[in-house]
Amino acid sequence: MPATTPLPPVVDAFLDAANAHDTDAWLRTFTPDGAVDDWGRVLSGHDAVRAWSDAEFIGARVTLDVTEVAAGPGDADVTVLAQVGGDGFNGPSHFTFTVQEGLISLVRITA
């Protein structure tokens, strides 16, 4: 994977769990009130994030092939460009991770 910025360990764990289709391990990467912003639709907390993932992410057998990594302004966020595959959306997407105290508080998915 070409990278300009090293990934925080929790982001590596997020990507590994998603590619392994391991929902429980994937959810453990989030803070208790962690959220997913899926192209403007925001889901907060483990129950809502799990329901979304079951229907549209891990449940759709997502694959994430990281092609680029960059730090956000002031290194507050890390953005991963990935080629998404699986039984749902297929194509490139940006995943911007906000990490707090070693866990993901927000992942924003955009074009």
Structure confidence at residue 1 (pLDDT): 43
Q: Has residue 4 got a pLDDT over 90? A: no
Q: Which amino acid is at 12?
A: D
SS3 6: coil
- Using a pLDDT cut of 90, give the percent of the chain over it: 87
- Domain map (residue ranges) of the chain: 9-110
Tens digits of residue pLDDT in 33-42: 999 999 999 9
Paired with 108 in beta bridges are 37, 96
- Using a pLDDT cut of 70, give the percent of the chain over it: 92
Domain 9-110 fold is Nuclear Transport Factor 2; Chain: A, (3.10.450)
DSSP letters, 35-73, are: EEEETTEEEESHHHHHHHHHHHSGGGT-EEEEEEEEE-G
In sequence order, the 6+-apart residues with CB closer than 8 A to the CB of 81 are 66, 67, 68, 69, 70, 92, 93, 94, 95
Tens digits of residue pLDDT in 16-66: 999 999 999 999 999 999 999 999 999 999 999 999 999 999 999 999 999
Q: Model's pTM, two decimal places? A: 0.92
In sequence order, the 6+-apart residues with CB closer than 8 A to the CB of 69 are 1, 2, 3, 4, 5, 6, 7, 78, 79, 80, 81
